[in-house]
A = this chain, B = another copy of it.
Amino acid sequence: MGPVTDVRDAIPAFIPARSAAIDRALRDALDAVDAPANLRDAMRYAATGGKFLRPILATLCCDLVGGALDAGLVAGVAVEFVHAFSLVHDDLPAMDDDTLRRGRPTLHVQAGEAMAVLAGDALLNAAFETLADAPLPAETVVRLTRELSSATRRMIVGQVYDTLGGRPADFSDRQMLDLIHHHKTGALLRASCRMGAIAGGADEASLAAVDRYGTDVGLMFQIVDDLLDVTQTTEHLGKTAGKDSRAGKLTFAGVLGVEASRREVARLRADAAATLRPLGERAAPLEALASYLADRTR
């Protein structure tokens, strides 16, 4: 039986062309990495086949401020390399020990654990090498490097909180959940938006709007992910379903309940739309993307 089709999964019309441009930019960046074929194959396996949410956000936020597509793609490729690195290392046997990702075996199942460690390292490094080699003004490259390294640090801290502890002792479940999300997923999604806007030469007002949009959409994305984890099947998602709740991890669906989580998604979607309103028609793609992310079933 093939995947179930659902009208709520109808993606905005501009996404396929944008995804193709991102896929091409990612492959070009990987082809340019001076590395033996086995390492490059592992990096390509890990960095392709995803939904490209982060580079889509980066390039749309670059568009929004009138930047060139190539500038947005530099930011998007760097962010996607970091995202891919984090998935490869989080899936390792010593970490979440997952075997399925994007409907395929995880990299350590496919290429061995040593290669998964090294390819993850190489992807994180390639993110910064991509920025340093980019044909952008030095001031812009430094700002992008600062944004990316700061968000990556928060993402790693979020993974530590989530799997190894070290969290504040006196937080409620909801505070803890916000803390973990803010670090683990939210920081890189927000950085994707900010980096796209910075690469495109945003002024402070646009950067502030993009920052709030990215914060809203990042949190919304995580709540929807938690809802799908309890309401959808592994086959439908292409990754192991129900794992977080079985592992006793804090999730929005678990802490808030399904109905309150859905209300929170609606609130964030409305706030993201309101944030974009002053920017006019140029912001339509970002608003369509937010609606798609709120409604998706996978």
* A156→B118 contact, CB < 8 A: yes
Q: How far is the CB of A43 from chain B (nearest CB, A)?
A: 10
In the complex, per-residue mask of A113-134: 1 if CB is within 8 Å of any chain B CB, else 0: 1111110111011101101110
Q: Smallest CB-CB separation from A152: which chain B residue?
A: B125
Within 8 A of B (CB), among A82-137: 85, 89, 92, 94-95, 112-118, 120-122, 124-126, 128-129, 131-133, 137
Once the chains bind, are B95 and A117 in contact (CB under 8 Å)?
yes
Q: In the complex, how many angstroms separate the beta carbon of A182 from the nearest chain B beta carbon?
A: 12
Contact of A124 among B116, B121, B159 (CB under 8 A): B121
Contact of A160 (CB < 8 Å), options: B39, B131, B157? B39
A161 to B39, CA, bound (A): 10
Report yes or no: B117 in contact with A157, Cβ–Cβ below 8 A. Answer: no
Interface size in chain A (residues, C-beta < 8 A): 52
Surface stretch bound by B, among A47-55, A162-170, A258-266, A270-278: A162-170
| Nearest-CB residue, chain B, relative to A159 | B118
Cβ of A33: which chain B residues have Cβ within 8 Å of it? Answer: 153
Partner of A129 from B34, B126, B131, B153 at Cβ < 8 Å: B153
The answer to whether A36 and B166 touch across the interface, beta carbons within 8 angstroms, is: yes
Quick one: given A142-B138, A157-B39, A166-B38, are A129 and B117 in contact (CB under 8 Å)? no
Of A5-13, A143-151, A240-248, A290-298, the one contacting chain B is A143-151
Asked if residues B167 and A36 are in contact (CB atoms below 8 Å), the reply is yes
Chain B neighbourhood of A92, CB < 8 A: 117
Q: Is the CB of A118 within 8 A of B160?
A: yes
Which chain B residues border A126 with CB–CB below 8 Å? 149, 153
> In the assembled complex, which residues on chain B have CB atoms less than 8 Å from the CB atom of A203?
none
Q: Which residues of B have CB within 8 Å of A167?
A: 36
Minimum distance in angstroms from A45 CB to a CB of chain B: 14
Please indicate the chain B residues that have their CB under 8 angstroms from the CB of A142 in the complex: 132, 138, 141-142
Enumerate 17 A-B pairs (CB-CB under 8 Å) in ascending A order. A35-B156, A35-B160, A36-B160, A37-B166, A38-B160, A38-B166, A39-B156, A39-B157, A95-B117, A118-B156, A121-B121, A122-B153, A125-B156, A128-B145, A129-B150, A132-B149, A138-B141
9 A-B pairs besides A35-B156, A89-B118, A128-B148 with CB distance below 8 A are A37-B166, A89-B121, A94-B112, A117-B117, A118-B159, A118-B164, A120-B121, A129-B149, A132-B142
**Which residues of A are interface residues toward B (Cβ below 8 A)?**
33-39, 85, 89, 92, 94-95, 112-118, 120-122, 124-126, 128-129, 131-133, 137-139, 141-142, 145-146, 148-150, 152-153, 156-157, 159-161, 163-167
